[in-house]
Amino acid sequence: MAQIVKRAYKYRFYPTPEQAEELARTFGCVRLVYNKALEERTRAYRLEGRKLSYAESSAALTAWKRTEELSFLNEVSCVPLQQALRHQQMAFSNFFARRAGHPVFKSRKKSRSSAEYTRSAFRWREGNLTLAKMDGPLDIVWSRPLPEGAKPSTVTVSRDAAGRWFVSILVEEKIAPLSPAGSMIGVDVGISALATLSTGERLANPRYEASDRRKLARAQRALARKSPGSGNRARAKLAVARIYARIADRRRDYLHKVTTRLVRENQVIAVEDLTVANMVKNRSLARAISDASWRELRSMLAYKASWYGRELLVVDRWFPSSKLCSACGVLTALMPLDVREWSCGCGAAHDRDVNAAKNILAAGLAER
Task: Tell me the CA distances in angstroms from 330 to 346, 348, 351, one per residue in order.
Answer: 9, 11, 16
Taking the complex as a whole, the smallest distance from the CB of residue 280 to Zn ion amounts, in Å, to 21
Nearest to 60 by CA among 96, 24, 34: 34
Given the complex with Zn ion, which of 276 and 327 has the nearer CB atom?
A: 327
The residues of the shown chain that bind Zn ion, judged by CB under 5 A, are 325, 327-328, 344, 346, 348
Phi, psi of 198 (to 5 degrees): -65, -15
Nearest to 322 by CA among 359, 279, 271: 359
Task: Tell me the CA distances in angstroms from 135 to 18, 28, 153, 167, one per residue in order.
Answer: 9, 20, 20, 17
Given the complex with Zn ion, which of 314 and 348 has the nearer CB atom?
A: 348
- For residues 112 and 27, give the distance between their C-alpha atoms in angstroms, rounded to a whole number: 9
- 353 in catalytic set: yes
- 291 in catalytic set: no
Q: Are strands 154-159 and 341-343 parallel, antiparallel or unpaired?
A: unpaired
The amino acid at residue 79 is V
Q: Are strands 266-272 and 183-189 parallel, antiparallel or unpaired?
A: parallel
Taking the complex as a whole, the smallest distance from the CB of residue 358 to Zn ion amounts, in Å, to 12
Taking the complex as a whole, the smallest distance from the CB of residue 329 to Zn ion amounts, in Å, to 7
Beta carbons of 188 and 360 less than 8 angstroms apart: yes
Question: In sequence order, what are the beta bridge partners of 211?
Answer: none
Taking the complex as a whole, the smallest distance from the CB of residue 356 to Zn ion amounts, in Å, to 14
CB neighbour list of residue 300: distance below 8 Å, 6 or more residues apart? 255, 256, 259
Instruction: Count CB neighbours of 158 within 10 A.
Output: 17
Q: Are strands 266-272 and 195-197 parallel, antiparallel or unpaired?
A: unpaired
Burial of residue 354, with CB atoms counted within 10 A of its CB: 0-12 exposed, 13-18 middle, 19 or more buried: buried
Given the complex with Zn ion, which of 116 and 353 has the nearer CB atom?
A: 353
Given the complex with Zn ion, which of 327 and 335 has the nearer CB atom?
A: 327
The residue annotated as part of the active site, out of 22, 116, 173, 188, is 188
- 272 in catalytic set: yes
Beta carbons of 267 and 181 less than 8 angstroms apart: yes
The residue annotated as part of the active site, out of 22, 116, 173, 272, is 272
Taking the complex as a whole, the smallest distance from the CB of residue 342 to Zn ion amounts, in Å, to 10
Taking the complex as a whole, the smallest distance from the CB of residue 168 to Zn ion amounts, in Å, to 49
CB neighbour list of residue 275: distance below 8 Å, 6 or more residues apart? 317
Q: Which residues are catalytic?
A: 188, 272, 353
